[in-house]
């Protein structure tokens, strides 16, 4: 029976249970935090000299596991996120000065937001954790929103949950963390909604019809689509074949389309994040025509990328 947990595991206790029950194959399913837990369990088993195969199965909708092409659950999440974006677009275009704002999962990686935006083609602005943004001034969100509403009368904004946290007063090294060690986040969607309404009212002297949609846990909880079902089967078969062949301490996953066995430590040494110098982000910018968030340098008229970029 599969279940979920949020960090705080006792590695020695887990290995004691594996030993007491006589288990010789352990399959650990989850994202980057889960894979780190799998690595710790593998090391404890190796230290005790136990003959137990430890296999990691990459499952996270955020697609933030390094090395592999994609993680299980990602395509399902993108497909379901499109439905939320479509609903936001319908709400926005049915009213004057309408904005549909959709918050999607993506604590450190903006893959769901980026791919759902590209798949939808109804999105005017996509905000992800990898790209710092600002509200005021030339090239900022407020200027762009007013311009787009003037042109089209409505717009759709997609924001990943981890975007803009520095603007909400969240420091990266904060001690406020959840059981898995993840930094606790403020709701960037509610904050952005309030800021946009405030600016529009002050500038135009009228109300902004903004609909905020937060489908995060609905997206995570739905059944997987056909593509992910096939992918899950391939991961399961690869994992079992490796264990039966005598391998241990590895994560399975495709690399450039070929399924491989990867040392667990290799997929946990860093997180997979959107490369904003890559063609996919360039394609998104071309699709949305959103600002690149580059402020003029104080000392001259030449544009300069923010240091955090």
List residues with catalytic annotation.
62
Q: What is the 3-state secondary structure (H, E, C) of the chain?
A: CCCCCCCCCCHHHHHHHHHHHCCCEEEEEECHHHHHHHHHHHHHHHHHCCCCEEEEEEECCCCCECCCCCCECHHHHHHHHHHHHHHHHHHHHCCCCEEEEEEECCCCCCHHHHHHHHHHCCCCEEECCCCCCCCCCCCCHHHHHHHHHHHHCEEEEEEECCCCHHHHCCCCCCCCECCCCCECCCCHHHHHHHHHHHHHHHHHCCCCEEEEECCHHHHHHCCCCHHHHHHHHHHHHHHHHHHHCCCCCEEEEEECCEEEEEEHHHHHCCECCCCCCCHHHHHHHHHHCCCCCCEECCCCCCEECCCCC
Rounded CA separation 54/180 (Å): 21
Q: Which residues pair with 102 in a beta bridge?
A: 158, 213
């Amino acid at each position: 029976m599969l279940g979920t947990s949020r960090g705080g595991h006792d590695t020695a206790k887990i290995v004691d249970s594996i030993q007491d029950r006589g288990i010789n194959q352990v399959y650990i399913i989850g994202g980057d935090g889960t894979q780190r837990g799998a690595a710790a369990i593998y090391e404890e088993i190796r230290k005790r000299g136990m003959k137990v195969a430890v296999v990691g199965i990459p499952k996270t909708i955020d697609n933030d596991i390094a090395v592999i092409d994609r993680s299980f659950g990602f395509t399902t999440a993108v497909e379901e996120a499109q439905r939320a974006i479509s609903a936001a677009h319908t709400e926005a275009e049915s009213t004057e000065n309408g904005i549909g704002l959709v918050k999607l999962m993506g604590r450190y990686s903006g893959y769901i937001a980026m791919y759902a935006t590209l798949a939808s083609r109804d999105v005017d602005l996509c905000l992800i954790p990898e790209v710092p943004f600002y509200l005021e001034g030339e090239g900022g969100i407020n200027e762009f929103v007013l311009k787009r509403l003037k042109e089209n009368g409505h717009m759709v904004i997609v924001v990943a949950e981890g975007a803009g946290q520095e603007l909400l007063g969240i420091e990266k090294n904060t001690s406020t963390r959840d059981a898995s060690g993840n930094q606790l986040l403020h709701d960037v969607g509610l904050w952005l909604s309030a800021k946009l309404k405030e600016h529009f009212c002050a500038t135009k002297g009228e109300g902004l019809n903004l609909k905020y949609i937060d489908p995060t846990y609905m997206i995570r909880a739905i059944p997987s689509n056909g593509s992910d079902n096939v992918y899950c089967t391939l991961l399961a078969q690869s994992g079992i074949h490796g264990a039966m062949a005598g391998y241990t301490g590895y994560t399975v996953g495709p690399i450039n389309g070929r399924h491989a066995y990867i040392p667990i430590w290799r997929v946990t040494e860093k997180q997979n994040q959107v490369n904003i110098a890559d063609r996919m982000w360039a394609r998104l910018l071309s699709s949305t025509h959103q600002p690149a968030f580059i402020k003029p340098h104080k000392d001259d008229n030449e544009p300069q990328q923010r240091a955090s970029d």
